[in-house]
Amino acid sequence: MSEENRMKENIRDLELPELEAVLLELGEPKFRAKQIYSWLHVKLCDDFSEMTNVSKPLREKLQKTYTAALPEICEVLTSKLDGTKKYIFKMQDGHVIEAVLMKYEHGNSVCISSQVGCRMGCRFCASTLDGLARNLTSGEMLSQVYEIQRESGERVDNIVIMGSGEPMDNYENFTRFVRMISDENGLNISRRNITVSTCGIVEGIRRLADENYGITLALSLHAPNDETRRKLMPIANKYSLSEIMPAIEYYFEKTGRRVTFEYSVVQGVNDNRQEALELVRLIRGMKHGGKLQCHVNLIPVNPIKERDWKRPDRTKIEEFQHVLQHAGITATIRREMGSDISGACGQLRRDYLKENA
């Protein structure tokens, strides 16, 4: 990234109507915006000079204010086991983030970051150890997908906003990202194939339900009661389950989308039969009780160097799963992707920063 580009606005942050306004301002016809949008969001072009159906004077004018550059790829790790790829990107201002490409039978998924770092402070998560540096813009979220598609040559089918950051803490940019990635003039990824994960920011969940984006919601639950939840997640001091669970029901009522509960299983903290039974009661106790379409995703905790949480034995996690299944709740154990290049969420970025300090 050149010094010059660093000061410029990212043209990829603009939605089509905004780009149209910019071009009208420059005395250009409106259709020009669609052409440029297509260069940026379909052809994934990163340089105005390659936009061959746009006149040179216009390209030069745009170049004065905006940059079309994509973030720099600093590192790509590829799993020999399942082809999972982990990427480290450097943004315009030098901040570093990570994203992951996972290949499944049902298609390719990209997991993107929504912030540089995070201020939610979940105790087992590496992304939050140094707090929040800044929000990512919508263009920077898009760029992660675009760069991965360019580098890997793979078509991206699903997006999960489950990398570093709390999307509801960056609501405007994350929803702008959702609009743009699902725009028919862009990559046109179906909103049904987009999942957002939140630690449980109630206002955000309710707003997302009201605005009905039609995306899938995942809640990082991690415990069946507030007391245990507070041991793992400081945000549990702000919102209790008595506020969060009704917000989840509201999301389901408004959107009809099946909700996912993520449950990172930590040895001796939330992995006993008693907690599994309590989780059943929590889910069954919701207003829609048996009707709520939900799914529990058990994530064996990924230990990070900085903390001493341990992963329970596989059999212990399976027992937990069986309690849920026995009660008629769908529960899966997350398959670890790219375990040979692994490291918990945010750990790769931390290692990279240390090595390059």
Indicate which residues carry an active-site annotation.
Answer: 98, 345
Q: Where are the beta strands (DSSP E) in 46-199?
A: 66-67, 72-78, 85-90, 96-104, 107-111, 115-117, 132-135, 158-161, 194-198
Provide the phi-psi class of 121: left if phi over 0, else alpha when psi is between -120 and 50, else beta: left
Nearest-approach distance from CB 264 to ligand SAH, in angstroms: 4
Which of 113, 220, 260, 321 forms a contact with ligand SAH (CB under 6 A)? 220
| Interaction between residue 260 and ligand SAH (CB under 6 A) | no
3-state secondary structure of 107: strand
Radius of gyration in angstroms for the set of CA atoms belonging to the chain, rounded to a whole number: 21
Segment near ligand SAH (CB under 6 A); pick from 26-34, 274-282, 294-302, 325-333: 294-302
Nearest-approach distance from CB 304 to ligand SAH, in angstroms: 5
Closer residue to ligand SAH, CB minimum distance, 71 or 200: 200
Residue 257, token pair as written in the block: 């989308």
DSSP 216: E
Site residues for ligand SAH, 123-152, by CB under 6 A, read 124-125
How crowded is residue 268: how many other Cβ atoms within 10 Å of its Cβ?
9
Which of 11, 141, 189, 199 forms a contact with ligand SAH (CB under 6 A)? 199
Site residues for ligand SAH, 49-108, by CB under 6 A, read none
| Interaction between residue 270 and ligand SAH (CB under 6 A) | no
**Residue (of 172, 166, 167, 163) closest to 120 by Cα position:** 166
| Interaction between residue 299 and ligand SAH (CB under 6 A) | yes
Which of 262, 279, 296, 350 forms a contact with ligand SAH (CB under 6 A)? 262
Provide the phi-psi class of 343: left if phi over 0, else alpha when psi is between -120 and 50, else beta: left
Closer residue to ligand SAH, CB minimum distance, 16 or 345: 345
Closer residue to ligand SAH, CB minimum distance, 186 or 343: 343
3-state secondary structure of 217: strand
Separation in Å, CA 338 to CA 83, 139, 245: 7, 27, 33
239 phi, psi to nearest 5 deg: -120, 130
Report angle CA 283, 288, 291 to the nearest 5 degrees.
85
Segment near ligand SAH (CB under 6 A); pick from 121-129, 130-138, 172-180, 253-261: 121-129
Q: Which residues contact 279 (CB under 8 A, 6 or more apart)?
A: 221, 224, 263, 296, 324
Nearest-approach distance from CB 29 to ligand SAH, in angstroms: 42
Segment near ligand SAH (CB under 6 A); pick from 78-86, 98-106, 239-247, 301-309: 301-309
**Total residues found in the chain within this entry:** 357
Closer residue to ligand SAH, CB minimum distance, 59 or 311: 311
Site residues for ligand SAH, 147-186, by CB under 6 A, read 162, 166
How crowded is residue 149: how many other Cβ atoms within 10 Å of its Cβ?
17
Closer residue to ligand SAH, CB minimum distance, 186 or 224: 224
Count of chain residues binding ligand SAH (CB under 6 A) = 18
Segment near ligand SAH (CB under 6 A); pick from 147-155, 174-182, 242-250, 298-306: 298-306
Closer residue to ligand SAH, CB minimum distance, 98 or 262: 262
Q: Which residues contact ligand SAH (rule: CB under 6 A)?
A: 120, 122, 124-125, 162, 166, 197-199, 220, 262, 264, 299, 301-302, 304, 344-345
